[in-house]
Amino acid sequence: MDEAAKKRLLYRANYRGFKEADIMLGRFLKENIEKLSDQELLAFENLLTAKDHDIYDWITERQTVPANFDTPVLAKIRAYRPKF
């Protein structure tokens, strides 16, 4: 993924409209964007097509994750612990 696409993805992850999702997704991506493969970045981008509250519930394991969003990237987000 080129740098312009990464910047757009980072922006989308940080400005979701649901603060908790912004924090989880934005910080995860900011800290890991250079470590993720293009395939993982595409999976992350696909995750952003879901509703914020659903993403939050999947990360916090309050809801069952649909198969198309149950990816290794989501597992990495679940395991991520932001540094405050």
Q: What is the mean pLDDT of the chain?
A: 94
| 33/17 Cα distance (integer angstroms) | 21
Residue 32 lies in a domain: yes
Quick one: pLDDT band at residue 83, thresholds 50, 70, 90? confident
Q: Indicate the burial class of 9 (C-beta count within 10 angstroms; 0-12, 13-18, 19 or more).
A: buried
Q: Is the pLDDT of residue 7 over 90?
A: yes
Average pLDDT of the residues in 12-30? 92
The yes-or-no verdict on residue 69 having pLDDT over 90 is yes
Question: Which CATH number covers residue 32?
Answer: 1.10.150.250
| Residue 50 domain boundaries | 3-79
pLDDT at 84: 66
Residue 25 has pLDDT above 90, yes or no: yes
The number of folded domains in the chain is: 1
